[in-house]
Amino acid sequence: MAQTGILDEALQRLHRSGPERLGRLTNHAPMAVEALAAHGQAGAVHRWLDLYAGKLEDFPSGTEPVTAADWRTALGDPRRVADWIGHFEREIAERPWRDVLTEWWPRLLPGMYGGSTHPVIRVGHAVRTLLTGESTGPRLAELAHGLGYWAARHRPVPDLVPLPGAASAAGALDAVVPIAEQDGGFPDRLGRVTGLPVWAAAVTDADEAHRRLTELVRAATHRYATHGHGEPTMLVHAATAPNAVLRTLPALPRVLWAPSLRAAWTASAAVTAMYAPRDPVEYAPLGTFTPEEVFERALVHGDEHVIKLTDTALDVGDAQALAAALRAVELSEPLV
């Protein structure tokens, strides 16, 4: 109960801030504090937020309400983010949150690449709190903020050329060819991704989709240990974006699981193409650490991406995943 209260206090504090700063950089705090609370570190939430506070901006002003008649014209317009968040707050106040999620998930799924995949990651964290705990006001509001951010940053990928893949997720990620020009931000690089290996296109069975998505999260997490040096921050999303989708599946009808897998694969593979180095490096941590010790190291380090990758690594739970989290600690700049 104490952890629930602390998380809810933190979310209320954060909902006075917008989902971005400087017009393009994501506010990671809601995702990070949820991860802290989920791993028994609720007592550190407000201290961490005090350190992160300089990266927050005030909640933006709205323009006009999003309605059932005009939502398509507002989709993908970041200037309407406050309008979109207000729309989902009203929706979730009037209907069960699972019904709202089920209606909007297939509408938003094709555009999960906007906002550098952060919106779907934020939704995944919000859904975890609702599936594992009470549906409190702040937690429902957090889902509304995540969905609203996703709708405002909605960006589909163009038709991609199907390229030869592999039988396994790890093999398919290895088959991804890095883009030739690895410069510019996420939107610029995403525009240069024209083809990706085929891996999940033929899957239609819900259970197989769940199995493959679990495999993908494991493979992408493991891969960070040997490839994270290519871009320590952005390559985190190759694992955390599909894991957000995996966390959301239990709240969705099974008919949506296979298309969710395909979108998650595209996201993970695209991030790999945009940021992965051409050559891996061998990595082994100096020592053996328990999951709790690894998460404690991530908390002391403080970087929001390190915390989120470690959160995903603990979901995977094996030694290679923990090594990836420790690699992120080594590669990334600490919060302070």
Tens of pLDDT, residue by residue, the chain (336 residues): 456 699 999 999 999 999 999 988 999 999 999 999 999 999 999 999 999 999 999 999 999 999 999 999 999 999 999 999 999 999 999 999 999 999 999 999 999 999 999 999 999 999 999 999 999 999 999 999 999 999 999 999 988 999 999 999 999 999 999 998 888 999 999 999 999 999 989 999 999 999 999 999 999 999 999 999 999 999 999 999 999 999 999 999 999 999 999 999 999 999 999 999 989 999 999 889 999 999 999 999 999 999 999 999 999 999 999 999 999 999 999 997
Residues 252, 109: contact at Cβ < 8 Å? no
Helix (H, G, I), strand (E, B) or coil at 162: strand
- In 3-state terms the chain splits into helix, strand, coil percentages (rounded to 5) of 65, 5, 30
State the pLDDT at residue 1.
40
State the pLDDT at residue 3.
60
Number of other residues whose CB lies within 10 A of the CB of residue 82: 18
Pairwise CA distance, residues 279 & 57, whole Å: 38
Pairwise CA distance, residues 140 & 142, whole Å: 5
pTM equals 0.97
Pairwise CA distance, residues 9 & 47, whole Å: 13
The phi, psi pair for 40, rounded to 5°, reads 75, 15
Pairwise CA distance, residues 184 & 193, whole Å: 13
Helix 304-316 to helix 319-331 angle (10° resolution) is 170
State the pLDDT at residue 158.
86
Helix (H, G, I), strand (E, B) or coil at 66: coil
Pairwise CA distance, residues 74 & 55, whole Å: 27
Pairwise CA distance, residues 159 & 179, whole Å: 16
